């Protein structure tokens, strides 16, 4: 239930911090950080390998860090 809710939330109406990420990256970051899923479970949920999940999370977190409003805290 939590996984489904997180996936819907970041897909339909992402919070500003998630909105600048690509959809795939946003979903991986949200499932790992908000739903607290381990990388292998995120991979199973989205249908990719763990390596791809790690790449998506890296891209998403870099996008987040590059956002001035977020990086200034």
Secondary structure (DSSP) of 11-57:
HHS--HHHHTS-HHHHHHHHHHHTS---HHHHHHHHTS-HHHHHHHH
Residues in the chain with pLDDT values less than 50: 71-72
Q: What's the pLDDT at 69?
A: 66
Q: What is the pLDDT of residue 12?
A: 81
Query: What pTM did the predictor assign?
Result: 0.85
Position 70 scores a pLDDT of 54
CA-wise closest residue to 14 among 30, 36, 37, 1 = 30
């Amino acid at each position: 239930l939590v996984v489904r809710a997180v996936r819907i939330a970041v897909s339909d109406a992402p919070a500003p911090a998630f909105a600048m990420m690509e959809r795939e990256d946003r979903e991986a970051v949200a499932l790992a950080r908000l739903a607290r899923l381990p990388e292998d479970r995120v991979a199973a949920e989205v249908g990719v390998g763990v390596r791809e999940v790690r790449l998506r999370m890296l891209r998403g977190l870099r996008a987040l860090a590059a956002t001035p409003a977020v990086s200034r805290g």
